[in-house]
């Protein structure tokens, strides 16, 4: 139930409750949610508060409004996750492959030194590094740099077995509006090579991504080091 004493706004609390109900199957894709009036009565709040919660879930793509019919749970679409490879958790999942992410460098505030392709060069950024395994084999290493103000408090959020895009969407109510990606062959040395089970001279596919959010450009930068000896990594390109 909602907690009026919580510092979290009531509409945010209701959005979290509805999100959990949708993910747990309480509301199925295509199913209509109760009306705003009924939800307001159920939770003892005003309709404007319910409308704010519903607006959040519409923006997140979990709900859709149909004029004259109500608000419905959207059917999931297979889209490229800009925080992962087309790629990481979701792509492995759709192929029936269990991929396990592991945080190998915890969330911390760092000062980014000389790094020509990193938009945070010469500035502070929130940093974390994650390794993805399939079975016992490491297949993907991801280094993330995030805007320290936009994503303040990330160090207090449990990232275990959660995609970063899910955290950014659920906790910060943010979605990237555009992105830039580059691809090239590279190699790793030291601890990074060891984490992927590679020798210093072994090639990896390096993907660099810069994500832009409404009002804040270059808010997330990531480097993805991909082993291609066991998996072929691809990206879906939509023409419409």
211: pLDDT strictly greater than 80: yes
- pLDDT in the model for residue 234: 59
**Segment (H or E) for 105:** strand 99-111
180: pLDDT strictly greater than 70: yes
CATH topology for the 10-73 domain? Arc Repressor Mutant, subunit A (1.10.10)
pLDDT band at 201 (very low <50, low <70, confident <90, very high): confident
235: pLDDT strictly greater than 50: yes
181: pLDDT strictly greater than 70: yes
User: Among 33-42, 43-52, 148-157, 192-201, which stretch is predicted with the lowest mean pLDDT?
Assistant: 192-201
State the Cα–Cα distance between residues 102 and 99, nearest whole angstrom.
10
Tokens 């555009």 locate to: 178
Which segments of the chain belong to CATH 3.40.1410.10?
A: 89-226
pLDDT band at 81 (very low <50, low <70, confident <90, very high): very low
- Flag whether the pTM goes above 0.85: no
- pLDDT in the model for residue 232: 63
pLDDT band at 78 (very low <50, low <70, confident <90, very high): very low
CA 136 to each of CA 102, 131, 161, 209: distance values in angstroms, whole numbers, following the listed order? 12, 12, 16, 27
State the Cα–Cα distance between residues 220 and 59, nearest whole angstrom.
20
Average pLDDT rounded to a whole number, residues 144-172: 89
State the Cα–Cα distance between residues 95 and 89, nearest whole angstrom.
10
Tokens 């159920």 locate to: 42
- pLDDT in the model for residue 228: 78
For residue 152, which of 124, 119, 114 has the smallest C-alpha distance?
A: 124
Which segments of the chain belong to CATH 1.10.10.10?
A: 10-73
- pLDDT in the model for residue 104: 94
State the Cα–Cα distance between residues 43 and 13, nearest whole angstrom.
11
Length of the chain: 240
State the Cα–Cα distance between residues 209 and 112, nearest whole angstrom.
16
Average pLDDT rounded to a whole number, residues 161-185: 86
For residue 145, which of 172, 164, 169 has the smallest C-alpha distance?
A: 164
* Better pLDDT: 84 or 12: 12
For residue 200, which of 210, 212, 190, 208 has the smallest C-alpha distance?
A: 190
Longest Cα separation, the chain: 64
CATH topology for the 89-226 domain? Chorismate lyase (3.40.1410)
Q: Which two tokens stand for residue 101?
A: 């992410």
DSSP string over 109-125: EEE--S-TT-TTTTSEE
pLDDT band at 164 (very low <50, low <70, confident <90, very high): confident
83: pLDDT strictly greater than 50: no
- Nearest-Å Rg of the Cα atoms of the chain is 20
């Amino acid at each position: 139930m909602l907690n009026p004493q919580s510092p979290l706004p009531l509409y945010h609390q209701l959005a979290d409750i509805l999100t959990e109900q949708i993910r747990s199957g309480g509301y199925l894709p295509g199913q209509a949610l109760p009306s705003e009036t009924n939800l307001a009565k159920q939770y003892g709040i005003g309709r404007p508060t319910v409308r704010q919660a519903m607006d959040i879930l519409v923006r997140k793509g979990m709900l859709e409004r149909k004029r004259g019919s109500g608000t419905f749970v959207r059917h999931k679409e297979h889209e490229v996750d800009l925080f992962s490879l087309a790629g990481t958790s979701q792509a492995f999942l759709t192929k029936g492959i269990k991929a396990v992410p592991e945080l190998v460098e915890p969330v911390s505030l760092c000062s980014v030194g000389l790094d020509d392709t990193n938009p945070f060069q010469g500035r502070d950024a929130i940093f974390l590094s994650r390794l993805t395994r399939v079975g016992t084999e490491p297949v993907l290493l991801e280094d993330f740099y995030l805007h320290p103000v936009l994503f303040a408090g990330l160090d207090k959020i449990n990232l275990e077995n959660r995609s970063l895009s899910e955290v950014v969407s659920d906790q910060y109510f943010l979605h990237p509006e555009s992105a830039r990606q580059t691809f090239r062959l590279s190699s790793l040395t030291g601890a990074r090579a060891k984490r992927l089970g590679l020798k210093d001279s072994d090639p990896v596919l390096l993907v660099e991504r810069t994500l832009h959010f409404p009002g804040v450009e270059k808010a997330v930068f990531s480097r993805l080091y991909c082993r291609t000896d066991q998996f072929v990594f691809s990206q879906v390109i939509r023409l419409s």
